[in-house]
Amino acid sequence: MASCLFRVLARPQVLKFASLRAVSINSLNIQHRNIHITRTFCQKYFTEKHEWVDVPEGSNVGTVGITDYAQDKLGDVVYVQLPDVGQELEVDGEAGVLESVKAASDIYSPVTGEVTEINEVLNDTPKKINESPYDEGWLYKLTLADPQELEPLMSEEGYNEYLTTIE
Partner 1 sequence: MKIINLVKSSRRLLGRSSVINLCRHIASQGNTQHHKVLVSKSLNIYENLALEDWLYENTDFNKETILLLWHNSPCVVFGRHQNPWIECNVPYCEKFGVDLVRRKSGGGTVYHDEGNLNCSFMMKQSLYNRRRNLQLVVDALTYKWNTPLSINDRDDILLLDKYKISGTASKLGRNKTYHHFTLLYNVDTLRLKSILHSNLDGTISNATRSIPAPVMNLVDLVPDIDFSSLVNVISERFVEDTESSVVEYVDPADKSAFPGINKHLAELKAWNWIFAKTPPFSISRTFQNEFSRTITFLEVSLDVTKGKIHNLDLKVTPPTMIDSKVFIALSVGMEETQFTLNEISKKLSSVKMEWITSRLYTVETHAILDWTLLCIIETVALHHGRTPSQNTDNNSEKTYLNNNESQATW
* Residues contributing to the site for partner 1 (CB under 8 A): 1-2, 4-6, 8-9, 14, 17-18, 21-22, 49, 78-79, 81, 92, 97, 99-106, 108, 123-124, 126
Looking at residue 100, its amino acid is S
Q: Which is nearer to partner 1, 30 or 78 (CB)?
A: 78
Per the DSSP assignment, residues forming a β-bridge with 62 are: 142
C-beta of 9 vs 42, nearer to partner 1? 9
Q: Please, are residues 141 and 115 in contact by the beta-carbon 8 Å criterion?
A: yes
Which of 42, 166 has the CB closer to partner 1?
Answer: 166
C-alpha closest to that of 121 among 106, 136, 109, 110 = 136
Minimal distance, residue 6 CB to partner 1, in Å: 8
Q: C-beta of 127: minimal distance to partner 1 in Å?
A: 12
What minimum distance in Å lies between the beta carbon of 16 and partner 1?
Answer: 11
Rounded Cα distance, 55 and 110, in Å = 12
* CB-CB contact of 108 with 92 (8 Å): yes
The nearest distance, CB 133 to partner 1, in angstroms, is: 17
Nearer to partner 1, 77 or 150 (CB): 77
Rounded CA separation 66/139 (Å): 8
The H or E element that residue 20 is part of is: helix 12-37
Q: How far is the CB of 79 from partner 1 (least distance, A)?
A: 4
Give 43 or 71: the residue with its C-beta nearer to partner 1: 71
Residues 132, 74, 98, 63, CA torsion sign: negative
